[in-house]
Amino acid sequence: MTDAITLRGVNKRYADFAALDDINFAVPSGSLTALLGPSGSGKSTLLRVIAGLDVPDSGTVTIDGHDVTRVPPQRRGIGFVFQHYAAFKHMTVRDNVAFGLKIRKRPKAEVNQKVDELLETVGLSGFQTRYPGQLSGGQRQRMALARALAVDPRVLLLDEPFGALDAKVREDLRAWLRRLHDEVHVTTVLVTHDQSEALDVADRIAVLHKGRIEQVGSPTDVYDRPANEFVMSFLGAVSSLNGVLVRPHDIRVGRNPEMAIATTDGTAENIGVMRATIDRIVYLGFEVRVELISALTGGRFTAQITRGDAEALALKEGDTAYVRATRVPAIAGSPQSADSDEALAPAKSP
């Protein structure tokens, strides 16, 4: 698989703040890559540098093998979708989607045909004569996607495309974007601060923090084999079990020491089983969050178990329970990686 986008040694500073700090990064052709990070991590700046909307202080950007570092956004062959839609408010849906084609002076019949096709693809057939103000947020964003796709971009860049939408609409659009990507196959880079969105939609995730890329990998890579504690805690909930970072759903809770051992382990070894007091039980629909206090250290941690398990164990607040971590992610440079049987993540200085 070749790389559609390559960044080499890209730096970008704003006053005394490094938005991008020596970024080396490649996006494989046809992939859907997520740039994931907290606000201020540089992910949007990175996307805007790829688009040409921001110019890096140093480093090079190539798209499809062409050095585009000094090429303006107009001639980069990109499609860009903004968080707040950037709909052309004074134009109808048809004129919005047709904009790039009209700029390219394509014949009218071809423009109309292409616009109708794209609106069909994004599920907005029949909305041609509406204005953006008459559409819902989700519809506006789908229109913006059709508009970006109309010019047959080499790469599609999405800047927090679902960030301004309701939770329900956001989930629908995620699934829809995934299907669209399978259909259209254009190399796509998606910026998001929402780890579940990245895990759900992307086939590759780059985690950014303070202008640096902390880790690049498949969703399972970054989730199960985080390069460092930042990636570990940013990709999902984390519990500290006597100083060892684990995912709350990887903590097994039992009534006696033996029950705290996952049956797949097969043995009755008590190694790693700890006693704790149940402080609070929270029912969150299909899952149950158990907040515990370690008998050994007095530290608080959270376990996440299924509703069925919670009912079978008849857990009550104040009860004593036994817990054991069933899986400890390997984090390079931290002491817990030594006793883990997981593949080691690439070494990374903290």
Partner 1 sequence: MTPAPPLKYLMRFAALAYIGVLVIVPAGLILWRSFSPGLGQFFSQISTPAAISALQLSLLVVAIVVPLNVLFGVPTALVLARSRFRGKGVLQAVIDLPFAVSPVVVGVALIVLWGSAGAFGFVERDLGFKIIFGLPGIVLASIFVTLPFVIREVEPVLHEIGTDQEEAAATLGSRSWQTFWRITLPSIRWGLMYGVVLTVARTLGEYGAVIMVSSNLPGKSQTLTLLVSDRYSRGAEYGAYAISTLLMTVAVLVLIVQVILDARRARARA
**Selected binder of partner 1 within 103, 237, 282, 344 (CB under 8 A):** 103
Helix axes 108-121, 167-184, angle to 10 degrees: 120
Q: Is 73 in the site for partner 1 (CB under 8 A)?
A: yes
Q: Is 113 exposed, middle or buried (0-12, 13-18, 19+ CB in 10 A)?
A: exposed
Q: Is 56 in the site for partner 1 (CB under 8 A)?
A: no
Q: Residues 167-186: x/- map of binding to partner 1 (CB under 8 A)?
A: --------------------
Contact assessment for residue 219 and residue 202, using Cβ atoms and an 8 Å cutoff: yes
| CA–CA dist 137, 119 (Å, integer) | 16
Tell me whether residue 53 or residue 293 sits nearer to partner 1 (CB atom). Answer: 53
Least separation in angstroms between residue 323's CB and partner 1 is 49
Number of residues engaging partner 1 in binding (CB under 8 A): 28
Q: Which span (98-106, 192-200, 217-225, 266-274) binds partner 1, by CB under 8 A?
A: 98-106
| CA–CA dist 243, 336 (Å, integer) | 9
The amino acid sitting at 67 is: D
Q: Which span (74-82, 275-283, 287-295, 326-334) binds partner 1, by CB under 8 A?
A: 74-82
Tell me whether residue 99 or residue 176 sits nearer to partner 1 (CB atom). Answer: 99
Q: Is 51 in the site for partner 1 (CB under 8 A)?
A: yes
Tell me whether residue 152 or residue 166 sits nearer to partner 1 (CB atom). Answer: 152
Tell me whether residue 91 or residue 332 sits nearer to partner 1 (CB atom). Answer: 91
E strands present in 177-317? 187-192, 204-209, 212-217, 239-241, 244-246, 251-254, 274-284, 287-294, 300-306
Handedness of CA 48, 51, 54, 55 (dihedral sign): positive
Q: Which residues bind partner 1 (CB under 8 A)?
A: 51, 53, 72-76, 78-80, 82, 84-90, 99-100, 103-104, 133, 144, 147-148, 150-151
